Amino acid sequence: MRSLILSVISMSFLASHAVAADPFADKQWGLNNQGVPQMIDLDPLHTYKIPARAQEDVRLPSPVKAKNKIIVAVLDTGIAKNHPDLKGVIRRNESECRALVKFEACVADSDRKTCEKKWMDLNNPEVDQDKNGYPLDCQGWSLLGGVNAAGIMGRPDFGDDQGHGTHVAGIIAAEVDNNIGVRGLSENVEILPVQVIGVQPSEPMKPLSIYDSPQETGRESVTRSLGDMVGRGVIYAMRSGAKVINFSMGWPQAKDSDFMRKVIAEAQARGVIIVAAAGNDSTRALLRPCAYPNVICVGAAGPDGAFSHFSNFGSGVDIVAPGVNILSTYPESKRPVRFRSTLGYEFLSGTSQASPYVAAAVAELMARGVPADEIYARLVLGARPLKSNLSLVSGGSHEQGQVLSPEREIYKKYSVAGNMDVEQSLKVSVQPLIVPADKEKVEINWDRKSKDLSFEISFVNKWQAVDIGKVKMNAQFIKPHADAVRPWITAIKEAAPYPGVWQQNEVRKYVVMMSLVDSQDPSQSRIPSELDLTVDVRVGDAEARRYVFESEVVVSVTPEMASSDVKTFNITGMPRARVSFLPLDENLDNHPEQRDYLALSQQNNTWQLWLVADNGNGAYTAVGGTKIRPEGEADNLREQVLTRLDLNGDGQSEYVMGILEDKSELDEPEASPMTFYIFDKAMKLLETFKYSAEVAPAPYQMYWQKIGGTKRPAWVGGGKDPSKKRGLKERWENPDNYEKPQTRFYFLNEKNELKALEEHQGYKIIDVIEPRREQMVAGRVPVLLAKNQGTEAKPSYLYNFAIAEVVEGRIENFMELDLFAHQTTYRNILDTRVDKVHALDYGKDEFAGSFWFGEGLNRQQRLSVFDNKNWELLDQQLGAERSQFDSALWVRAVFAGLQRKGAFVLTNSEIQYHDLVTSRVVSKSFERYTFFPDMLMTNLYFPLTLKDARDASTKIPALFTTESSELSRGVKMLVPVFARDGSAIELVSPARLRFKSSTGCRPMDTPVFDGVKGAHSFDYYCGDKLLRVNLTY
């Protein structure tokens, strides 16, 4: 699965239909807010106006022409260097420009490689006269080219075909009073374009010591990831004299780069101030480099002076600046979407637009003589408090509109400082400023035995020295609900003896002591893993500043781990070869609680397999060593089916491995065949057969139908008619054998021939309903059928539905339903997505039916849940809590039992648990990143169930992310907490279940279903043993 690391932090909304031609400065509310509402289009159907508060802008001071201009490096997509509003403010190296003209003339008459050998040779006296090591850098540098003849990555000739960097540059320094377009915040700036974004980056780079030479020698091992490109861009900016660097981009912690961190630290050591965008996902999960120490992290505000609906927030965000509907420069070669008056300008929104306002302000303060070590403090102390959001007004600019009711505030956004005020920052008097020194989450290791825990937090004094006696701190864990569980703070003390005076830029560490008070047995504590410590810091008589320190409690999994909920299985007979452990996670026999594994040793197309099975005596035994040789390109082979089932009804289980040869990524994609290998419990190969997938593609989820004394794969999906015979006329008229795919019930018969069922009594098969345990064991596949209520000539939008079972290649137990067609609950589910319902009642069934979902009204998801045992239907509309600014995107999981029913819904910015019994909704930040494709994020959250330590009659629904996904430290669960009245009150990640594997153990990732005994467990492979951790909360 590929991770898209690029995060160009720009959210764009459609602006008003037309704006005044020239000048455009009156459209720049961020510089001069006159109280004019700003238009945003949240989606194609919803246009809103955000009311404005006059003067909620950056508050420009009276202009001053500085003696020297400050170089601001814009690390971005490049800049349209000939833009009439920018060409006069871009830094030029005239000697390099003269040489670049000659190079470009050479390229026009010859090949580029020949010209590079001459004009990028540092020994050529006509190039690199500024001695920064980059030949021909007339107006900046692009890191997107390969290594040139000088051994340096990049090239000097570049533009901006995306527009993002050009927009950022205009916010900073578009020319002032030139009778053209817009103006920038500062007149005392030169822009240094550094192109680091243009193509999709690859994997994160490897750790590397930093040195600031532009030469690529010694960097061969550093891959060309985003951090790789950006790190080289920072080196170029440093060597070219930049004093401020703006990053309107970012990447997550999991994709962070040691190289990048060292480069940033080196730049800061040389006095360069780094400004970065916080991100547009309405979360506290900060991007990098925003989370790095001493980087000024910028959130976005709207024209009402409040946090924008999309802006990231938290104590890692230092300051807020305008970021909604910002008009700035844009490449004249690109057609603007939102600004229709002329080419060369565009409205964009995002923290990408807020960050350059702050970068420009930093440069302006520098130009006016403010020392670099005062700038952060002045910006923070001079900032105005954030306002509350004003109610939106519906309708476009030509409509009167309707004032909408305010949304319920499900969490309060906050930051270190409020809205940037440049004028006030110049007037601030010298004073102490105590702020958090580290923005990263603190990891707290817990052995589940200790009642008392501690962790360190750190503060830094950013300005005037202060007597420590004047600094007062008060800390607490704030409960969101009376029934919520949090630790008790017992003390906060200095981590070491410190002098009586806290000096400027001095970092001091404090130890937070806390105690678990909710349970006599600490291992049963229900504290959440993610703890928010609220600290109020007061200096003298000044108003206290509130900060929130984020921490995560993790439980290390070691080979020696022992507890009442941990079962140890010794493993015997394991091969000495290096093997991967593959869970047989599809158990279709009468032993759902039994988890077996395959150990795989793979060398190209030779696969050696051992069955590692539960021998029933509290241990696992490895048997086999069978070799198979799958056909196809080794890199395209992957195991897709791992199943245990009683194939022939003799009471003995067989083991099936289906290996897919993925041909979908070939230059000319082909059908991806799957080869099935069937083994007995001694790993003797009993049978092998191949499915070509030429008629219908093999799905990820297969079911097993009883047919001809055996069981064979079956599924519902799109494809061709396998019974169709091609005659001469057909071959002549349709030589490519094109056939419009139709939904059918496909299955292999006992001869491994592909067959299909499509209709029964006028009903078409449209889906498989998740089978009950007895249906799985018997090889009976339940299906849902639909019949249009109209005619072929005049079809209706209404359908009738029925259920049936498929066995031995035929329909049995057919029954029409009225559940989906009732007057008040009519549901057309043909164009929806389907998934399994997880059972919350104890028993042999892991699943309790199927659910369908699809987009409904008002950006909601319409959910239909079908109980395959009692034939009951639950139908509801599930929407985002912040319905004006958010949308329900996906129903990730549904759970059902006699007492509890619930669904996890993913929105743009939250994970929400909808209690389907009480209609109560609890939310938690999605902590998603805009560089991740939506589907990737949804697929990295998986459903499972937990035993309820307080109610033995039902299970608890949960989602989890695997440890190997690298989305968090260890495995992370999201669990609804139920109050005494049974209603959900918050969504937490339980600390006692926040497992993180240590040396010697690795997670199996796939949960183990405990059958009638419990809910789910996690397995950890620890060399000669397997640890099974029962999941109870």
Residues 119 and 165 grouped into a single domain: no
Give me the catalytic one of 83, 164, 167, 1016: 164
Contacts for 441-446 with beta carbons within 8 Å, 24 or more apart? 441/550, 441/551, 441/552, 442/549, 442/550, 442/551, 442/552, 443/551, 443/552, 443/554, 443/969, 444/531, 444/551, 444/552, 444/553, 444/554, 445/554, 445/555, 445/556, 446/553, 446/554, 446/555, 446/991
Residues 376 and 519 grouped into a single domain: no
Residues 397 and 530 grouped into a single domain: no
Residue 17 forms part of a structural domain? no
Residue 393 forms part of a structural domain? yes
pLDDT digits (tens, 9 = 90+) for 563-609: 999 999 999 999 988 899 999 989 999 999 999 999 999 999 999 99
Task: Say whether 76 is catalytic.
Answer: yes
Residues 220 and 81 grouped into a single domain: yes
The whole-number pLDDT of residue 408 equals 72
Structure tokens, 1: 């699965």
Residues 208 and 350 grouped into a single domain: yes
Pairing of strands 442-445, 545-557: parallel
| Mean pLDDT of the 635-664 span | 95
Last residue of a domain, one of 427, 453, 468: 427
Runs of H (alpha helix) within 240-342:
258-269
Q: How many CB atoms lie within 10 A of CB 577?
A: 13
Residue 563 forms part of a structural domain? no
Among the listed residues 313, 301, 327, 311, the one whose alpha carbon sits nearest the alpha carbon of residue 390: 301
Residue 382 forms part of a structural domain? yes
Structure tokens, 674: 């799957």
The values of phi and psi at residue 641, to 5°, are: -120, 125
Residues 191 and 209 grouped into a single domain: yes
Task: Say whether 760 is catalytic.
Answer: no
Q: Specify the amino acid at residue 622.
A: A
Which position has the higher pLDDT, 768 or 122? 768
Of the CA atoms within 13 Å of residue 882, those in its CB half-sphere come to: 22
d(CA 141, CA 150): 14
d(CA 343, CA 501): 57
Q: Which residues pair with 569 in a beta bridge?
A: 1026
Last residue of a domain, one of 385, 400, 427: 427
| Mean pLDDT of the 770-774 span | 96
Residues 54 and 177 grouped into a single domain: yes
Which position has the higher pLDDT, 414 or 20? 414
pLDDT digits (tens, 9 = 90+) for 152-183: 788 888 999 999 999 999 999 999 999 999 99
What stretches of 841-887 adopt beta strand conformation (E)? 847-855, 861-867, 872-878
Residues in the chain: 1033
Residue 2 has pLDDT above 50, yes or no: no
The residue assigned the tokens 């394991």 is 574
Residue 121 forms part of a structural domain? yes
Residue 946 has pLDDT above 70, yes or no: yes
d(CA 499, CA 468): 8
The whole-number pLDDT of residue 939 equals 61
Domain range for residue 746?
697-829
Contacts of 890 (CB under 8 A, 6+ apart): 853, 861, 905, 906, 934, 938
Contact of 607 with 628, CB cutoff 8 Å? yes
| Mean pLDDT of the 490-508 span | 96
d(CA 490, CA 698): 59
Residues 811 and 741 grouped into a single domain: yes
Residue 119 forms part of a structural domain? yes
**Max mean pLDDT range (93-97, 195-199, 267-271, 394-398):** 267-271
The whole-number pLDDT of residue 225 equals 58
- What is the domain-level CATH number for residue 468? 2.60.40.10
Map 419-470 to HEC letters: ECCHHHHHHCCCCCCEEECCCCCEEEECCCCCCEEEEEEEEEECCCCEEHHH
Give me the catalytic one of 10, 12, 57, 76: 76
Residues 727 and 773 grouped into a single domain: yes
Neighbour-count burial for 665-688, b at 16+ CB within 10 Å, e otherwise: eeeeeebbbbbbbbbeeebeeeee
Residues 340 and 353 grouped into a single domain: yes
| Mean pLDDT of the 81-101 span | 94
- What is the domain-level CATH number for residue 207? 3.40.50.200
Task: Say whether 164 is catalytic.
Answer: yes
Contact of 244 with 73, CB cutoff 8 Å? yes
d(CA 586, CA 596): 10
Residues 479 and 338 grouped into a single domain: no
Q: What is the dihedral of CA 876, 878, 883, 889, to 10 degrees?
A: -140
Residue 201 forms part of a structural domain? yes
Q: State yes or no: cis peptide before 499, omega within 30 of 0.
A: no
Residue 96 forms part of a structural domain? yes
**Secondary structure class of 372 (helix, strand, coil):** helix
Last residue of a domain, one of 376, 398, 427: 427
Among the listed residues 458, 370, 377, the one whose alpha carbon sits nearest the alpha carbon of residue 186: 370
pLDDT digits (tens, 9 = 90+) for 706-756: 999 999 999 999 999 999 887 787 788 778 778 889 999 999 999 999 999
Among the listed residues 889, 886, 855, 862, the one whose alpha carbon sits nearest the alpha carbon of residue 876: 862
Residues 338 and 248 grouped into a single domain: yes
Q: How many domains does the chain have?
A: 4
